[in-house]
Amino acid sequence: MEGAYNIAGYMNYRDYDVKLMLNNDMVAHNTMQPGDWNVRIYAYTGSEHYAAFGAALAEVYTNLSYTFTLHNSSGSDSFAFWVNGFPVTYYEELEFSPYWHTPYDIIENCDIDFCTEIAMHIAATAPRFISREEVDSDLIEKEKEIYREVALNEGKPENIVDRIVEGKIGKYYEQVCLLEQPWIRDGDKKIEDLLNEKIASLGENIRIARFARFALGESN
Going by C-alpha positions, the residue among 21, 213, 202 that lies closest to residue 110 is 202
Query: Per 3-state DSSP, what percentage of the chain is helix, strand, and coil (rounded to 5)?
Result: 50, 15, 35
CA distance 26 to 24: 6
Full pLDDT tens readout for the chain, 220 residues: 567 888 899 899 889 998 888 887 755 444 555 556 678 888 899 999 988 887 888 788 777 778 888 888 887 889 999 999 999 988 887 665 555 555 555 555 667 788 889 999 999 999 999 999 999 999 999 999 999 999 999 888 888 998 999 999 999 999 999 999 999 999 999 999 999 999 888 777 788 988 988 887 766 5
**What CATH number was assigned to the domain covering residues 107-202?**
1.10.286.20
With contact defined as beta carbons under 8 Å apart, do 208 and 59 qualify? Answer: no
pLDDT digits (tens, 9 = 90+) for 100-112: 555 555 555 667 7
**Residue 170: strand pairing partners:** none
Q: In a 3-state reduction of DSSP, which class is residue 179? A: helix
Q: Where in the chain is the domain with CATH 1.10.286.20?
A: 107-202
Going by C-alpha positions, the residue among 103, 93, 106, 105 that lies closest to residue 32 is 93
How many CB atoms lie under 10 A from the CB of residue 50? Answer: 20
